[in-house]
């Protein structure tokens, strides 16, 4: 009986040993797969990072290409190359002036007088630079009607563009800018005034 019992226990141990061995093999396989997956995930993260970087480079190249095309267009339309350079510089200043105007609006909303006064000083400086380069601000009067002459100098963002009744300027979203080119040739509209209109 004892030998029979020992035999059974031995058999059980062998079965358990085989199961344990099988289990260890499976665990090792899983560990190996986990390692492979981890390596794959690392590679994927690297690829994703490279893709993000490439997309940023592509966007920057597209932006640079658009800006270059705009500059070429500005230079081509200018009365002289010198005035073309002034137009290009003025447009850059206008962009900065827009930002300053936005900050001024925020400062007024927050009732930050000190910040607003500082921004006003920057605004005046930028405006003086434009004036020194023969650039004037196009600021149509609210409530006035649009004439044929105005149409080349304004962009209607919202509201009627034409009709039987006169079209009235309700409000101005952004001022326009015009360069007189030192009296040489036709005036250059650097940016149209952006307005909202209503029918009278």
**Six-digit token pair at 189?**
């509209």
Q: How far apart are the first and last CA of the chain?
A: 116
More confident residue, 182 or 1: 182
More confident residue, 76 or 7: 76
Question: Which residues, in sequence order, are CB contacts of 177 under 8 Å at separation 6+?
Answer: 90, 94, 130, 135, 136, 137, 138, 189, 190, 191
For residues 83 and 155, membership in a common domain is answered with yes
Q: Helix (H, G, I), strand (E, B), or coil: what is residue 42?
A: helix
For residues 72 and 117, membership in a common domain is answered with no
Segment holding 107, helix H or strand E: helix 81-109
**What is the rounded distance in angstroms from the CA atom of residue 152 to the CA atom of residue 7?**
106
167-179: average pLDDT: 89
For residues 44 and 130, membership in a common domain is answered with no
For residues 98 and 129, membership in a common domain is answered with yes
Q: Give the residue from 77, 105, 121 where a domain finishes.
A: 77
In the predicted model, is pLDDT for residue 60 greater than 90? no
For residues 115 and 157, membership in a common domain is answered with yes
More confident residue, 75 or 84: 84
- Which tens digits make up the pLDDT trace of 93-137? 999 999 999 999 999 888 888 999 999 999 999 999 999 999 999
Q: Give me the number of domains the chain comprises.
A: 2
**Six-digit token pair at 137?**
């601000």
For residues 97 and 71, membership in a common domain is answered with no
For residues 39 and 87, membership in a common domain is answered with no
- Which tens digits make up the pLDDT trace of 9-26? 677 777 777 887 888 888
**pTM of the predicted protein model:** 0.62
Structural domain containing residue 65? 1-77
For residues 162 and 139, membership in a common domain is answered with yes
47-54: average pLDDT: 86
Beta pairing partners, 156: 195
């Amino acid at each position: 009986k004892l030998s029979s019992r020992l035999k059974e226990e031995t058999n059980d141990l062998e079965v358990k040993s085989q199961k344990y061995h099988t289990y260890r093999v499976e665990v090792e396989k899983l560990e190996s797969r986990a390692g492979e997956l981890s390596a794959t995930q690392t590679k994927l993260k690297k690829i994703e990072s490279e893709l993000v970087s490439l997309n940023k480079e592509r966007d920057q190249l597209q932006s640079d290409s658009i800006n270059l095309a705009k500059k070429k267009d500005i230079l081509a339309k200018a009365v002289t190359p010198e005035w073309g350079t002034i137009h290009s510089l003025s447009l850059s200043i206008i962009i900065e002036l827009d930002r300053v105007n936005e900050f001024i609006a925020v400062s007024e909303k927050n009732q930050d007088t000190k910040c607003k006064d500082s921004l006003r000083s920057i605004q005046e400086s930028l405006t003086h630079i434009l004036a020194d380069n023969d650039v004037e601000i196009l600021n149509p009067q609210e409530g006035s009607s649009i004439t044929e002459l105005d149409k080349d100098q304004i962009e209607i963002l919202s509201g009627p563009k034409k009709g039987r009744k006169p079209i009235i300027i309700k409000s101005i979203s952004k001022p326009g800018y015009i360069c007189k080119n030192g009296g040489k040739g036709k005036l250059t509209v650097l940016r149209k005034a952006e307005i909202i209109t209503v029918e009278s």
